[in-house]
Chain A
Amino acid sequence: MAESDIKSTGANAANAITPEIKSTGANAANAITPAIGSRLRSYGIIVVAVTVLAFLGLTRSHFMSLPNIYSLFYGVSLDFYCVAGFTILIIMGEIDLSVGSVYALAGTTAGYLATQGLPIWLCTAAALGIGIFVGLFNGLLVVHLRINSIILTIGTLLLVRGLADVVAAKMAGERYIEAFRDIARARVFSVNWTIIALLVLLTMAEFAMVRSAVGRAIYYIGNNRRSALIHGISVGWYRVAGFALSGALASISGVLVASRITIADVNMGRQLEFTILTAAVLGGASLFGGRGQVVNSIVSYFFLAMILNGLIMFGVEPHLQQVIVGAVLIVIVGLDTHLNREAR
């Protein structure tokens, strides 16, 4: 398998995991102890992931090669922010489908501005601004006008995607300037800095979600919004802030990924929201809120990318990947719905 092929999968769909993260995932699952079904699934996904990993490793010698695993892991370290934001929001019982578009618009805009000669920090700030703006727009409408977040964010998905296409058309496949391309490439101790950032931030995020008052409030809101309100949590502000955070984190991932793929790509982040949604639910999050963990979402995200990467190595028609993501989504949400009904 050519290095370039592996890279292209890595950039779009992909992800990775090391043993230490896996053990964090298992511990964190113990710490929170949600419903038994959810906990079983948390372990289940890890067992399945290890099995698939072993199968692919034994049957395809390239799969376990360091460059391939590193590439997958590097990919997940870029998409991590977006997955984390999405997961925090889904824990509160909201869904933001516009993340893929925000990711594309923020990344392409930052690259465009950098290529126009603006300093990198200003471009990143602009990208963050876009993410926060779209997030606040979504959040304020969903909370104040009580609009179904799925429908509204399909609308903003289209709006923002249109804008991203306009910016991408301006660049017309041109390469971003070198300084911008270097953001995601910078290395610390001969490892990409994003990988170190992933390990540090993931640990911090998990700790914050489990131990801090804010983290607990987020789970509380997802479990029972009315009860959380009665107990003095400003539910509305949390939800609005959740959307803003989701937008901001999506834009960080967007800038990193744009920097990695080096050109303005109109397909950047397309259908990313569905891959993340599948990963989050696979990792124990529920469309009904109150469940899920950032670590598990990341593990599942890696797992999905691993399957897709493995399928490519087995020479499976790439378009069949879509069929598989669709099937996994239906099965896993069906299971989620089933378990939720039993829990009531």
Chain B
Amino acid sequence: MGRWFRSSRDIAGVCVLLGLILMSTTNSYFLTTDNFDSIQTLIAVNGTLAVGMMVLLIGGFFDLSVGSVMGLAGIVCAVLLHEGFPIGLAIGMTLLFGAAVGMVNGFLVSGLQINPLIATLGTMFMGRGIIETIATTQTLTGFTGFPPAFLEIGAGKVFGIYLMFWIFLSIVAATHLALTRFAWGRQVFFQGSNPVAAHSTGFNTRRIINAAYCLMGVLSALAGVLMTARAQTANRYLGAGIELEIIVGCLIGGATTSGGRGTIAGAVIGTVFMALIRNSFVLYELDPEWRTMVLGGVLVGAVIWDAVIRARRDRGDLYDGFGA
């Protein structure tokens, strides 16, 4: 198949195109402004997370706590605004909060060298527990009644495109540049493809990892702020279970679980792919129970594809003594 289809990103890209064609021809609602609005905001929020996750995956790491951080950030921001902080300051402090959580994750993984899945799983549990504890003191709708200028972040449009989508696009551009044009980006790739070499070459691997987790924390908090502004409420459901959707999106977009590979463009394609799946469940009125299955099926498929590609790359190495 040549150079094409080496990465699941190319397949995802083709699927996205086919999906777009299929959905626009079979469903009259797909091309309406309402639907585009909902897809745009979905991509803006999930894509922001996916960019951060892609950087981590390239470095050979993971973060399962993004949904919890997102939910907590929404609540932090809501509380600050209720206390009368100016909007800019409230958002700034929320992002700092995200950075702090990211630092904690980074410390657990790089400092204490805990398996990243387990470490961030722990912080995910803790975050979710704190959210639930706070949420029980609130009504079911959660925090509402935000200043109109804050809601403008979620509802405002510039040149016909949502303000939050512009924010997302600028993050994509900035991260892409950071990964491809700056030393830090090269270090992340180096760390992911050969952590031992990166360490012995004298790179401060801890700092690289911490920076990646910190970025993830800030982007999670930002996603929380955007989603809160869009939904006009911060409640206990904010960001629940989103982490796997983001990781699956990134894997489809060409990231690997072993690190060292991936592009920001891939993260965007993966996010669009997942957004189309979610959208088709709404448009075709499919039972929500099946959504979990589709998500799992896509993840298993992406992981198998990843393994087959890897096996082909180091040819003949696949059946080395039956799995030893």
Chain A contacts to B: CB under 8 angstroms: 141-148, 150-152, 154-163, 165-166, 169, 225-226, 228-229, 234-237, 239, 274, 277, 287, 317, 319-327, 329-330, 333-334, 337-338, 341
* A156/B296 in contact, CB under 8 A: yes
Since A237-B322, A239-B323 are in contact, a sample of 20 more A-B pairs with Cβ atoms closer than 8 Å, ordered by chain A residue number, is A141-B300, A141-B307, A144-B318, A144-B319, A145-B307, A156-B300, A157-B296, A159-B300, A163-B293, A166-B290, A169-B289, A229-B321, A235-B323, A287-B115, A323-B126, A323-B129, A324-B129, A330-B108, A330-B123, A334-B114
Query: Is A144 in contact with B299, judged by CB distance below 8 angstroms?
Result: no
Complex contact A329–B299 (CB within 8 A): no
Say whether A152 contacts B303, CB under 8 Å: yes
Given contacts A143-B323, A322-B125, contact A333 B118 (CB under 8 A): yes
* Interface residue SS majority, chain B: helix
Query: Nearest B residue to A331 by beta-carbon distance?
Result: B122
With beta carbons under 8 angstroms apart, the residue of A236, A327, A333 that contacts B322 is A236
Residues of A within 8 A of B297 (CB): 155, 159
- Chain B, residue nearest A148 (CB): B257
Query: How far apart sit A237 and B323, CA to CA, in the bound complex (Å)?
Result: 9
Q: Are A155 and B303 CB-contacts (below 8 A) given A329-B122, A334-B112?
A: yes
Which chain B residues in 103-145 approach chain A with CB under 8 Å?
108, 112-115, 117-119, 121-126, 128-130, 132-133, 136
Q: Is A151 within 8 A of B257, CB to CB? A: yes
The reply to whether A162 and B291 contact each other, CB–CB distance below 8 Å, is yes
- Could you tell me if A234 and B322 are in contact, using CB atoms closer than 8 angstroms? yes
Cβ contact within 8 Å between B300 and A152 = yes
With contact pairs A155-B300, A319-B132 given, residues A337 and B112 touching in the complex (Cβ less than 8 Å): yes
**Is A155 in contact with B132, judged by CB distance below 8 angstroms?**
no
A159 and B303 form a contact (CB under 8 A): no
User: Is there an interface contact between B323 and A159, defined as CB atoms closer than 8 Å?
Assistant: no
A287 CA / B115 CA spacing, docked (Å):
9
Binary A-proximity of B216-239 (CB < 8 A = 1, otherwise 0): 000000000000000000000000
Q: Give the distance in Å from the alpha carbon of A234 to the alpha carbon of B289 in the complex.
A: 40
CB-contact partner of A154 in B128, B294, B299, under 8 A? B299
Residue from B114, B136, B297 whose CB has the most chain A CB atoms within 10 Å: B114
- Which residues of chain B are near A236, meaning CB under 8 Å? 321-324
Chain B residues near A142 (CB-CB < 8 A):
323
In the complex, chain B residues whose CB is within 8 Å of the CB of A152: 300, 303
Residues of chain B whose beta carbon lies under 8 Å from any beta carbon of chain A:
108, 112-115, 117-119, 121-126, 128-130, 132-133, 136, 244, 257-258, 287, 289-297, 299-300, 303-304, 306-308, 310-311, 318-319, 321-324
Shortest B292–chain A CB gap in Å is: 4
Contacts of B126 in A (CB 8 A): 322-323, 326-327
Nearest B residue to A167 via CB reads B289
**Distance, CA A146 to CA B124, complexed state (A):** 28
From A155, A235, A322, contact of B129 by CB (8 A): A322
Cα of A154 to Cα of B64 in the assembled complex, Å: 12
A319's contact among B119, B129, B289, by CB below 8 Å, is which?
Answer: B129
Q: Are A337 and B114 in contact (CB-based, < 8 A)?
A: yes
16 pairs of residues in contact across A and B, judged by CB atoms under 8 Å: A148-B258, A148-B303, A151-B257, A154-B299, A158-B292, A159-B292, A159-B297, A166-B287, A319-B129, A319-B132, A322-B132, A323-B126, A326-B122, A330-B119, A334-B114, A341-B113
Asked if B296 and A329 sit within 8 Å, CB to CB, the answer is no
Q: What CA separation (Å) do A237 and B322 show in the bound complex?
A: 8
Given contacts A323-B129, A330-B114, A333-B119, contact A144 B124 (CB under 8 A): no
Chain B residues with CB below 8 A from A147, complex form:
303-304, 306-307
Q: Min CB distance, B75 to chain A, in Å? A: 14
- The 8 Å CB contact of B117, one of A150, A160, A337, is A150
Q: Give me the 5 closest cross-chain CB pairs, A-B, nearest first.
A: A158-B296, A162-B293, A326-B125, A322-B129, A159-B296
Closest A residue, CB atoms, query B115: A287
Shortest Cβ distance from residue B103 to the other chain A in the assembled complex, whole angstroms: 15
Contact A225 B324 (CB under 8 A): yes
Which residues of chain A have C-beta atoms less than 8 A from B133's C-beta? 317, 319-320, 323
Contacts of A317 in B (CB 8 A): 133, 136
Cβ contact of B299, chosen from A158, A169, A334, cutoff 8 A: A158
Quick one: which of A145, A152, A156, A165 has the most chain B CB within 10 A? A145
For residue A244, give the distance in angstroms from its CB to the closest CB of chain B.
14
Select A325's contact among B108, B125, B311, beta carbons within 8 Å: B125
Residues of A within 8 A of B115 (CB): 287, 333, 337
Instruction: Return chain B residues, CB-CB under 8 Å to A148.
Output: 257-258, 303
A162 to B296, CA, bound (A): 8
Chain B residues, CB < 8 A from A154 = 244, 299
Measured CB to CB, the closest approach of chain A to B282, in angstroms, equals 17
Shortest A292–chain B CB gap in Å is 15
Task: Identify the closest chain B residue to A98 (Cβ).
Answer: B296
Give the contacting residue for B294; candidates A162, A326, A327; CB below 8 A.
Answer: A162
Decide if A323 touches B130 in the complex (CB within 8 Å).
Answer: yes
Q: Tell me if B122 and A327 are in contact (CB < 8 A).
A: yes
For A321, give the chain B residue with the smallest CB separation.
B129
Give CA–CA (A338, B114) in the complex, Å.
9
Cα distance A161–B299 in the bound complex, in angstroms: 14
Q: Is the Cβ of B324 less than 8 Å from the Cβ of A235?
A: yes
Closest CB-CB distance, B252 to chain A, in whole Å? 12
A163 to B289, CA, bound (A): 8
Residues on B with C-beta less than 8 A from A237 are 322
A320-B129, A341-B113 known; A330 vs B118 contact (CB < 8 Å): yes
Of all chain A residues, the one with the shortest Cβ separation from B122 is A330
User: How near does chain B come to A104, taking the closest CB pair, in angstroms?
Assistant: 12
Residues of chain B contacted by A319 (CB below 8 angstroms): 129, 132-133, 136
CA distance A329 to B125 in the complex (A): 10
**What chain A residues lie within 8 Å of B324 (beta carbons)?**
225-226, 228-229, 235-236
Q: Specify which chain A residues have a CB less than 8 angstroms from the CB of B113 in the assembled complex.
A: 337, 341
- B133 CB to closest chain A CB (Å) equals 5
